[in-house]
Structure 1
Amino acid sequence: MSPLFAIILTTCAILSIIILIARFRLNPFIVLFVTSIVIALIAGMPADKVVGSFESGAGHVLGHVGTVIALGTMLGKMLTESGGADQIALTISRKAGRGHADWAMMVIGLLVGLPVFFEIGFVLLIPIAFVLAARTNTSLLRIALPMGAALSVTHALIPPHPAALLAVSAYHANIGKTIFYGLLVGIPTAIIAGPVFGRFAASHVPLLEENPMAAQFVSAKPPENMPGFTVTLLTILSPVILMLLGSGADFISAPHTILNTSLHFLGNTVIALTLATILSFYVLGLARGFSRETILRFSTECLGPTALIMILVGAGGGFGKVLIDSGISDAITHAALGAHMPLLVLAWLLAVIVRVACGSATVAMATASGIVAPILSHAPSISPELMVLVTGAGSVALGPMNDAGFWQIKEYLGLTVPQTLKTWSVLETLIAVCGLVFCLIGSLFLH
């Protein structure tokens, strides 16, 4: 397949999805599924392999993200019903001031996002964003976008996040320097893509008055008997703490020992979230006077509104897998490798291409660093730490529709597809471009 044909085919597919969903109001799942089938057949993929490819991609994504969304939603429901989310939101508002709530959410996103994947950080913090926006009478976009920007920046740029660690290993970068440079690049990037862009977006993108997801997490008024701030915060942070222990297990204990294996197990994203959710049933449920029957009703009813999110997340994964299996992404990647450009720009561009092709920032970072790492060994003048950062920046570019985060943002914030493109996709592109620019500036001083 020629690179030009692959680029045209991908562009037409993306435009078709946007038009069919936004203009003709067709069901997003049907549009993603049918578009995936059509482009696979046009690309020459055997007809008997097409559906299996889509199912494989959808199943792979849902196997992780679906579980995370379900557990995070139950934890969020307990935070809401107990008044814990109100306690956190009111404390933030009181300490930071109503006019700086978006900055506070950015800082919280940076801290929570360090050890966890974007999807997990998002489901942990979105209930607080809903309540904070409601109690301060602030646009949800102004609160949620800085939080999302911070989570995305930590995912891409700052170890010990798992995605960044993959690139650190591939480029043989110094992890200490990478963290330091990552903070130097990541903090201003989060500010630009977060509070600065969030305020601009909130003033130009009107939200629907009714948001089913927000209604689920926001009560008419704060409960009178709210749990304490400390116990609520520890409940929210418990999965983050467990994941941090899991990521540092090899530094804490010798590999393959019982302690090491236990820490890795407890630090698994699903295990950590499960334990946190069970903890919330007691701390924010039974201990607050809720009966077991009431807690069961909360944890069951809250999953209803997430069904569409899970289906769309899976469809986005299926669309990305079809682009890979049909050879479209390989054709575009080979075209990028054939272009003569600075190595920092090449790593960034390859990460962008893989990001568009498969949707996953982690896969984009791992793939691009794997391709470029052998080339870097012949270019000793280029900082491997900057290579990590620039690859990470490219890995979150564009916020494409085959990324789980796109559909999470759309459904949770009550956006249309065009609105999601104007807000989330632009925000992710700002992170990518700012990361590239800051790294290029840094390369003038680092060798």
Structure 2
Amino acid sequence: MTPAARISAAIEVLGDIEARRRPAADALKDWGLSHRFAGSKDRAAIASLVYDALRRKASATWIMGEVTPRATVLGMLRLQRGMTPDAIAALCSGERFAPEPLSDTERQRLEAASLDGAPAHVDGDFPEWIEPSLQRVFGDDLTPEMQALTTRAPLDLRVNTLKVSSREEAHDALPHLGAVETPLSPLGLRIAPSEDGRGPAVQSEPEFIKGWIEIQDEGSQLAALLSAVKPGEQVLDLCAGGGGKTLALAAMMENHGQIYATDGDARRLAPIHDRLARAGVRNVQVRTPRGGADAVSDLKGRIDCVLVDAPCTGVGTWRRNPDAKWRLRPGSVEVRRKEQATVLDRAAALVRPGGRIVYITCSILPEENDEAIDGLLQRDSGFEVVKANELLAAAGLPNLRPFVRVTKNGLQLTPKTTGTDGFFVSCLKRR
């Protein structure tokens, strides 16, 4: 496919996303199935165009003066890809498979390409209705913080210390990936995003198959490290899902002690068994819920650390899932708040006196973060928040302090401050 044909395809896919209100991945998959002549490079390039357009949807349509799939793509090429109006016009020739030629108005808009006077939700490319919430967190930093969420995310790897003696050993075994050490996590390697959006096939690497490395964002690695779990402890991963943080905890505990992994949705636990075996983990007991029964009711009051990787809106992952921001609705936040309250109350019953709850979200909304913790403290006076400096010291991460945003009840990581996805971490200790 020619570059111009890829532009046309991206416009078509965006039209399908808007018309049917569905995830970009589904629309891209259907387009590929109905256009089998497109090779893997073509499909990757089209996906990259679609996701970049969704990252800059508000600002792109602002400069173009209309909200259409074509305007979104044209504006994105100017703002995100830095293409000149002449270069964009060359792609829009109207020839076979190419978009229609630029109108005089489109040409003028691309030449001006100004966001002067644009409101914050346009300049930062996020839904207008969440601006008051974000303003409470970021204040004057709102726009640059949200602009950082429009960039492409790197591919981060976590080195599994159960299989490899050091990060350097894993790094030296993967020179062809061009990975560099992550700046904040002592266990991470980072692969920069490619121009076409295609990443290396890490899961085909011998080192991945042998369990030396796992794919995990540096923010998620730091969240696990902030739990400060130690060998010999009794630990519960209450929302374990596919097991990413469970694996990290097992490595931190050097396979000593006991980790219980469960999830409210048994289907989400399906991948964890193979991942545990590949990583060489031996201290994890998977508790799969059956017939509506509580799979961990026998652990009440016994757990040293309950990790709550809470269900949330995922606002902090918008670099990877830019279409999700435009599907987010106020009702979604309220649903998640109720789920978070339920899981926190459940965690509170499981932790022993002197034990702790480590609450994690991949969100930057205060309703899901500080306010969720406030809610638990109001319902259960037996907990107190561990102060930021104590939390960092216990995790052996005091050097992280200048990079994180300290909030009322925890730490906020963001693409702008830490170069990671947006994560919130709070630690509550039972008196």
TM-score range normalised by the length of the shorter chain: under 0.3
TM-score by length of 1: 0.22
TM-score by length of 2: 0.23
Bigger Rg, which one: 2
Q: Which structure is higher in RCO with an 8 Å CA cutoff and minimum separation 6?
A: 1
Q: Comparing both structures, which one devotes a greater share of its residues to helix?
A: 1
